[in-house]
Amino acid sequence: MTNLIRLSGFALFLLGFSFIPQFALAQENARPEAPDEGQRLLEQGRDFAKNGRIQEAMQAFTRAAEIKNGRCAECFQSIGMIYFQVSQYQEAATAWQKAIALKPDNGGVLLNLLGVALYLQDDKKTLPEAITVFRQAIEASQDSLPKAHYNLGFALIKSGKEAEGVAELKKYLDLEPNSPTAESAREVIKHPKLASVQPATDFKVKGTDGKELSLKALRGKVVLLDFWASWCGPCRQEMPAVKQVWQKYGGENFVIIGINLDDSKSAFASYMKSEGITWPQYFDGQGWENKIARLYGVHAIPHTVLIDEEGIVRAVGLRGTTLYNKIADLLKQLKEQKSAATK
């Protein structure tokens, strides 16, 4: 696991697209503990994670939980986040169940996260459990988590309870009518079958060249969102592969949008120039708080989101040859569709 992962004060999404709400990893209003070995390991784990040393971070969090005799909700939350970021959803669910059992202050948020981990296992056995957990999240939070209604709506529709699912999505819109995912909810209400796919959350920003960048405007093209930073070693290692993709496929039917997480504009600009990067870029100088990174819940880089011509997310986190081949497949399908449409 060579991605760099940020583990504090962040938001996540379900495969892009707003299944998990913003939350702070640390328990809110928790009393500060006196420094001890367990707490030291917890802090050390955070430092390891921020620097991409994921296995060491996991070891530190696990050891911290052991030293605290399993009475460390924050340890299990951290362990769950690492598992989630590397798509090990069953393990993430187990870790979050342990955290929930300790009855932390943010239990509603954790229940919502648990529901997502169960949903993403894409198993008929865990889907009913995910629905139950989302309902528990709404109750535990005293209905202060609008995204739980969004999540519950999708889960219900996927389970065949279309009317109930649509009702939950309408509740979500009542609570957050102007959120980035409100449009997705409206589309699913109109066309419930869309709940089985993953629509990419739209955005409209200005690129570093002053031109507007919008997924809606790019409908009809295959789009790759590439999240990176000049200070990120794994990103630098991956950049030649991204260049190869652009050189091979960049053009009428395919575009890359780089989402840069640098704090320094000069560092970003210097790296762009030295590497000869020419595809569109979005930079706002906010680092991990980058607008689009937050929108897509990105806390590990390099990270990619591959979106088809209809605005549906087709893959997340692909790199190297796997990414190259997936793009080739999508472009082949798009070409065939265009060819068939002209006959």
Percent helix, strand and coil across the chain, each to the nearest 5:
55, 10, 35
Q: Say how far apart CA 6 and CA 227 lie, in whole Å.
A: 13
72 flagged as catalytic: no
Q: Say how far apart CA 27 and CA 189 lie, in whole Å.
A: 35
- Reduce the DSSP state of residue 171 to 3 states and report it: helix
Catalytic residue, chosen from 235, 256, 316, 331, is 235
Q: Say how far apart CA 164 and CA 129 lie, in whole Å.
A: 16
State the amino acid at position 286 in one-letter form: Q
State the amino acid at position 108 in one-letter form: G
180: cis peptide before it, omega within 30°? no
Q: Say how far apart CA 37 and CA 64 lie, in whole Å.
A: 7
75 flagged as catalytic: no
Q: How much is the CA Rg of the chain, to the nearest whole Å?
A: 21
Q: Say how far apart CA 298 and CA 288 lie, in whole Å.
A: 8
Q: Say how far apart CA 130 and CA 80 lie, in whole Å.
A: 16
Determine the Cα angle at 165 with ends 160 and 167, to 5°.
145
Catalytic residue, chosen from 232, 259, 300, 305, is 232
Q: Tokens at residue 293, please?
A: 């990174």
- Reduce the DSSP state of residue 191 to 3 states and report it: coil
Is residue 89 a contact partner of residue 97, using CB atoms and an 8 Å limit? no
Positions annotated as catalytic residues are 232, 235
